[in-house]
Structure formats: C-alpha cells, structure tokens
Amino acid sequence: MRFGVWTKMMTIAVAALATVGVYAQQHATFHITRTVNLGGDGSWDYLRFDPDGNRLFITRSTRVMVVDLASGKLITEIPDTAGVHGVALVRDLQRGVTSNGKANTASIFDLSSLKPLSNVPTGEKPDAILWEPFTKTVLTMNGMANSITELDVATAKAVGAIALPGRPETAVADARGKVYVNLEDKAQIAEVDMAAHSVLRIWDLTGCTEPTGLAIDVENERLFSGCHNGVLVVVDARFGKLIQTLPIGQGVDAVAFDPEIHTIFTSNKDGTISVIGQVDANTYRNMETVQTLPGAKTMALDPARHVVYTVANQEGQFVLLEVGR
C-alpha cells in the first residue's frame, strides 16, 4: 500500500473514531439525580419548565403547584383550575395560562405574583396548551370539541376557533406559522396553518396507536410522535413522510427534544424514560432506558442543563424526579 493511500485511510479512521467519541459523550448515561418529596393530593398531567424563574409548574387536578427548582421547595399553588391539564407561558406579557378541562376555561395568571387574573371560555375539555409565537396567541386543544381555541392573552379574550378532524392531544409550533397536532383517536398528525386559521394537511402515523406526546426539531423540520403501543414515530414536517419508527416504553404521554445534545426523551407510564439519539435528520438510535417510577408519564425539559423532570407517587408520596447525567 502506498504511503499516501495509507495516510488518507488513517485520517478517515481517526475522524470516524472522533465522531463516535463525540456522539457517545453527547449521549452519556442518564439517571435520576435528585428526588424531591412534594406531597399533596390529586392526579397530575402536563409539566411546564419556566427558564426565567427556574421554576416548574405541575398541574394537579384542581390547582397548579409552582416549585422552585434550585431549592426543591413549593413556592405556592395557583387555585381554582378544575381539571387542569397544562400551562402555557407568555413571557413577553409576564403571563401564564392554564387549560381547565372540567371547567372548559383557560385561567390567566401573573408570572411574577402568581396571582390569578381572569378566566376565558374555551371549547369543551381543553387539554394540551401552548404559546404560538407567529400569531402571538395561546392555543388550547379541546379534546371533546375536536377544536383549537385561540386566546389573546393581552385582552383575555378568545379570538378564534379552528375545527379539527379528530381528538387533539399534544401540539407543537414551528414559530413560522405552522402548528402540528397529534389526533389521538385517528392516529394522525394535523398540520394547521395559523395564517389561514385552518387545517392544511392530515398525515397518517402508520404503525402508531393513540399518539399523545409530540416534540419538534425546528431546524431539521422533524416531528417526534409518541404512541401508546410503545413506539416513537419520526415524521418529516415538510411532507408528512415517515422517517423512522423506534421502540419506547409503554404508556407514553410526553416527548421532548433537546437540540443541543440531539436527544429525544419520552416519559412512559410503565416507569421508564426512553432516550433516543439523533445521529442526523434521518437516523435515530435507541440509547438507553432510564428507570423512574410507575405512572411517571409526563415530563418537562430544561434544555440549558439537559435535564428532564417527571413526577409520580412513591410509596404514597407525590415526588419530583430530576433526570440528568
């Protein structure tokens, strides 16, 4: 073998080893790094991380728990949120909004004082909720009405409604005027055009049953849909093309994507967090399974610290689990 060819081959090999090394470092083992006993009665649903206040909002049936993550202490509880499912943060207005599934309302509260301000009617059984930056509205996914309610938080009014062809679960926004919604009963994703206030396209999630959690990779235009039959489906958000299907734990209810370390997390009711690595936009690998607690099906991501939070009952006590490296 000529020296030049041998040198070239060695250079390629070293580069490949370096890539593998970086990939392995990005996906070092995750584990429970802290357990905090919070107590309190009631079931729970979505969690929302607040990066400005380093706080976690935890929905608890009739109220929202606000936890200081530095100390692990309960700051306060936001009351009168019957059947609360989720919390959206409107940081420019210093407002938070809850989706109250039993009251068919959204409650607006002050992010500084954490005091309730007003209630706005929504469609029937608002569940998932998100801030949509293109229209600067908060959207509630109304599970019994098959619709989206658009809320103007500044005026505390509902300003529109969008009909959906199925029961909405989690939704995500691309910040460019598109919102993607899991349709749980149809095993589909609806692409919503916020400029037109209507559904643009519907995509089947082949091999998926009851899609719930949803996350988005905005840069690569990829959607990650968690399904109750124990799979994660990766979808091209431009064309609705299925890219890859990967096994995850059973009973997923939340999916999060960390763009800096190219990692997808799914929190599963069976007491696991599935950790999936993004090799590139079209290639994904199961990296590991973190044991949490049965019932720990919802989750919030702190992308700056690459930490996820989940909650469950442990021997009769309601606890917060921090999962990091």
Radius of gyration of the chain (CA): 20
Give yes or no for residue 45 having a pLDDT over 70: yes
Summarised one tens digit per residue, pLDDT across range 155-180 is 999 999 999 999 999 999 999 999 99
Helix, strand, coil percent content, the chain, rounded in steps of 5: 5, 55, 35
pLDDT number for residue 27? 54
- Judge contact between 197 and 240, C-beta under 8 A: no
1 or 108, greater pLDDT: 108
Summarised one tens digit per residue, pLDDT across range 225-274 is 999 999 999 999 999 999 999 999 999 999 999 999 999 999 999 999 99
- Judge contact between 271 and 251, C-beta under 8 A: no
- Judge contact between 264 and 257, C-beta under 8 A: yes
Give yes or no for residue 78 having a pLDDT over 70: yes
- Judge contact between 269 and 252, C-beta under 8 A: yes
Summarised one tens digit per residue, pLDDT across range 177-215 is 999 999 999 999 999 999 999 999 999 999 999 999 999
Q: Which residues contact 13 (CB under 8 A, 6 or more apart)?
A: none
Q: Which residues contact 117 (CB under 8 A, 6 or more apart)?
A: 95, 108, 109, 110, 156
9 or 201, greater pLDDT: 201
pLDDT number for residue 20? 43
Cα separation, 276 vs 279, in Å, equals 10
- Judge contact between 64 and 81, C-beta under 8 A: yes
- What is the identity of the amino acid at 295? G
Backbone angles phi, psi at 13, to 5 degrees: -65, -45
For range 112-135, the mean pLDDT: 98
Summarised one tens digit per residue, pLDDT across range 271-318 is 999 999 999 999 999 999 999 999 999 999 999 999 999 999 999 999
pLDDT number for residue 60? 97
Neighbour-count burial of 201, counting CB atoms closer than 10 A to its CB (0-12 exposed, 13-18 middle, 19+ buried):
middle
Cα separation, 324 vs 321, in Å, equals 10
pLDDT number for residue 17? 41
- 3 confidence band (pLDDT: 50, 70, 90): very low
Whole-number average pLDDT of the chain: 93
Of 295, 300, 298, 276, nearest to 287 (Cα)?
Answer: 276
Q: Which residues contact 4 (CB under 8 A, 6 or more apart)?
A: none
Give yes or no for residue 22 having a pLDDT over 80: no
Give yes or no for residue 23 having a pLDDT over 60: no
- 2 confidence band (pLDDT: 50, 70, 90): very low
pLDDT number for residue 28? 64
pTM of the model: 0.91
Q: Which residues contact 86 (CB under 8 A, 6 or more apart)?
A: 45, 46, 48, 59, 98, 99, 127, 128, 129, 130
